[in-house]
Structure 1
């Protein structure tokens, strides 16, 4: 009798589909709202840095968000490795400053720059370490804080969320 083994490892990068990263991004935004994701990430960051309190969200919600962000980071990495440009054909005079978010004008016109810059500065493992650490420290009261830089990965994640949403919206409008 032949044994059948189930592979529980991530299939990231093993998919032969052309738009694998974009499909992961679309699924992320189907399950998570952009503003709610940014707000929850902000709350996690706030409670992780604040030593005397813990986050009020239910642990399953935090765990789901943690797993979704890990998947989002991997999808961003796949997108960053592609050479294709995702330019947005809009005049900058027509765009409100609120629509830009944290993105610069150059990043708004080519959102792929956000991902390339983020993964040039940090690896997937470093983003995973950041997200895991922030979730861990936000769920309890601890005397010590993480020893690494907290602000830069946080800003990269917020910018990646804005850029991914922009890419998905442009793709839907085509």
Structure 2
């Protein structure tokens, strides 16, 4: 009898076949920015609470974990290609609401967010962070995460903002090309 292997690897992998931009578009096709930030925040909050756990369907959490891993890898690919998604705006014209956690410089060139994040942490460390917050948020444990999870969390939220900004600018550029052509 032939053995059938089941692979639980995600389809959102960052490899040579996919560009970072395609992976980001896929992420935002299935996940809204605000919902993703809220889920990430909930996972971190429950990970550091000792006597409670998140009451979400584990399949939803697993899907979010895998899609966030994909987004982080997409950012890594974007950083390697060094394509700029800059915008020329005056500092007065940038609303603080648009910036979120991003600085004005990061808002102008969102790829800087990924460069800073991957200077501070490796892909493996971001995987460890995501796995850790999922693990600790899904049960009641005596121990807390052994590493500082605040800085990877901040980098991850900034990566979400930067990726969304890149996709938004791509759409705006596409619309401008259609309208002018």
TM-score (norm 2): 0.87
Structure 1: how far apart are the matches of 2:63 and 2:144?
23
Cα distance in 2 for residues equivalent to 1:38 and 1:92:
26
Which residues of structure 1 form unaligned runs of 5+?
none
How has the CA–CA distance of structure 1 residues 6 and 144 changed in structure 2, closer, same or farther, with 3 Å as cutoff?
Answer: closer
How far apart, CA to CA, are the structure 2 residues paired with 1:127 and 1:112? 17
**Could you say which residue in structure 1 is the equivalent of 2:56?**
57
Preserved CA contact (<8 Å) 2:87 2:108:
yes
Question: Counterpart of 1:131?
Answer: 130
Moved over 6 A (4+): 5-10
Give the Cα separation in 2 of the matches to 1:160 and 1:129.
Answer: 16
Q: Are residues 164 and 54 of structure 1, via their aligned partners in 2, closer, same or farther at CA, if it must alter by over 3 Å? A: same
Match of 2:14 in 1: 12
Question: CA–CA distance in 1 between the matches of 2:59 and 2:31?
Answer: 14
Q: Which residue of 2 aligns with 1:116?
A: 115
Deviation at 1:58, TM superposition (A): 1.1
Aligned residues: 167
Tell me the TM-score normalised to structure 1 length.
0.90
Q: Distance in 2 between matches of 1:57 and 1:8?
A: 21
1:8 Cα deviation after fit:
7.9
